Amino acid sequence: MVRLYRTGEVAKRLGVSAMTIRRWVKSGKIKAHKIGKEYRIPESEVLRLLEGKLLDKVVIYARVSSRDQKEDLGRQVEYLKNYCSSKGYQVVKVITDISSGLNENRKGLKQLFKLVESGEVGKVVITYRDRLTRFGFEYLEEYFNSHGVEIEVIFDDEEKTPEKELVEDLLAVVTSFAGKLYGARSHKKKHLVEAVKNALRDD
């Protein structure tokens, strides 16, 4: 006789929320039997997840805003790799972008969406929320969750002061619009961004 588990029991064994388990069931990542309004999950599925065939498969995503931050990007990736190694995660892909967090057409971000939608991974690991997107993080998180994928953020954005967060948002907006007006690598763009930085620093 096949042993069946409640979603709460499976969530406890896997160390995730019951809501995550239900999302995985609905997206087809976990096979389950529906009994009334509840799901029952076969033991074979629980063992499959415990073996790391889905749960511990992660994508690393790192981003910086400009090419002169390439060293920062490298350090960011290295930190994420070490973090995933310490957690026992299996990194299936490292995706990077050099672009504004306001840019919705990032090559790496599009690649990340395809991986999430394919059902090949169970988690995306980032350093800060704004590495993934400057605004609207909650919408992306909800979308990823709808495909059974969790976003794991290493550092809490609440560590940033409201003033620092506001300055970062303002610079992101200025950088994005200056790039559209003058071109991503133009001197006018660099001068404008530097002028805004200096003005904010003086305040």
Q: Across-strand partners of 149?
A: none
From the list 65, 66, 99, 176, the catalytic residue is: 65
The reply to whether domains 4-50 and 57-157 share a CATH topology is: no
Q: Across-strand partners of 123?
A: 58, 150
Predicted pLDDT at 47:
84
What's the CATH fold of domain 57-157?
Rossmann fold (3.40.50)
Clarify whether 86 is annotated catalytic: no
- How do the domains of the chain map onto residue ranges? 4-50, 57-157, 160-202
Three-state SS at 105: coil
Predicted pLDDT at 111:
95
**8-state DSSP, 33:** E
Given the structure tokens 């790391």, which residue do they identify?
52
Predicted pLDDT at 119:
74
Q: Reading across the β-sheet that carries 150-153, which strands appear in turn? A: 90-98, 57-64, 123-126, 150-153
Predicted pLDDT at 18:
85
Q: How confident is the model at residue 48 (pLDDT cuts 50, 70, 90)?
A: confident
Predicted pLDDT at 168:
60
* CA dist., res. 29 & res. 22, Å (int): 10
Given the structure tokens 């009334």, which residue do they identify?
36
What's the CATH fold of domain 160-202?
Helix Hairpins (1.10.287)
pTM > 0.75: no
Angle at which helix 7-14 crosses helix 18-27, to 10 degrees, equals 110
Predicted pLDDT at 118:
81
Copy the structure tokens of residue 147.
Answer: 């495909």
pLDDT in tens, 110-139: 999 999 888 778 899 999 998 998 788 999
* CA dist., res. 73 & res. 96, Å (int): 8
What's the CATH fold of domain 4-50?
Multidrug-efflux Transporter Regulator; Chain: A; Domain 2 (1.10.1660)
* CA dist., res. 45 & res. 31, Å (int): 7
Copy the structure tokens of residue 166.
Answer: 């506001």
Burial zone of 49 (CB within 10 Å; 0-12 exposed, 13-18 middle, 19+ buried): buried
